[in-house]
Amino acid sequence: MDIAGKRILLTGATGGLGRALAVRLADRDVELVLVGRKRAALDEQLGALPAGNHQSVLADIASVDGRRAVVDAVGGSLDGLINCAGVNTFGLFADQCADDLERLLRVNVIAAVELIRDLLPVLGQRKSLVVNVGSTFGTIGYPGYTAYCASKFALRGFTEALARELADSSVRVCYFAPRAIRTPMNDANIEAMNAELGNTMDTPERVADSLVKFLEQGRARRHVGWPERLFVTLNALLPGIVDGALAKNLPVIQRHCRGDGASSLSPPG
Which among 67, 166, 155 is positioned nearest to 124, based on CA atoms? 166
Instruction: Note whether 28 and 3 are within 8 A (CB).
Output: yes
- Return the amino acid letter for 101: L
Half-sphere exposure of 46 (CA within 13 A, CB side): 18
Instruction: In whole angstroms, give the CA distance from residue 91 to residue 190.
Output: 10
Q: How far is CA 235 from the centre of its chain?
A: 21
- Between the two ends of the chain, the Cα-to-Cα distance in Å is 26
Alpha helices in the chain (DSSP H): 16-27, 39-48, 64-74, 98-105, 112-123, 146-165, 188-197, 204-217, 228-237, 239-257
Characterise 261 by phi-psi region: left (phi > 0), alpha (psi -120 to 50), beta (else).
left
What percentage of the chain's residues is helix, strand, coil (to nearest 5)? 50, 15, 35
Among candidate residues 142, 145, 148, 175, the one labeled active-site is 148
CA angle 51, 18, 103 (to 5 degrees): 140
Phi, psi of 141 (to 5 degrees): -70, 125
Half-sphere exposure of 262 (CA within 13 A, CB side): 6
Concerning whether 142 is annotated as a catalytic residue, the answer is no
| Residues annotated as part of the active site | 148
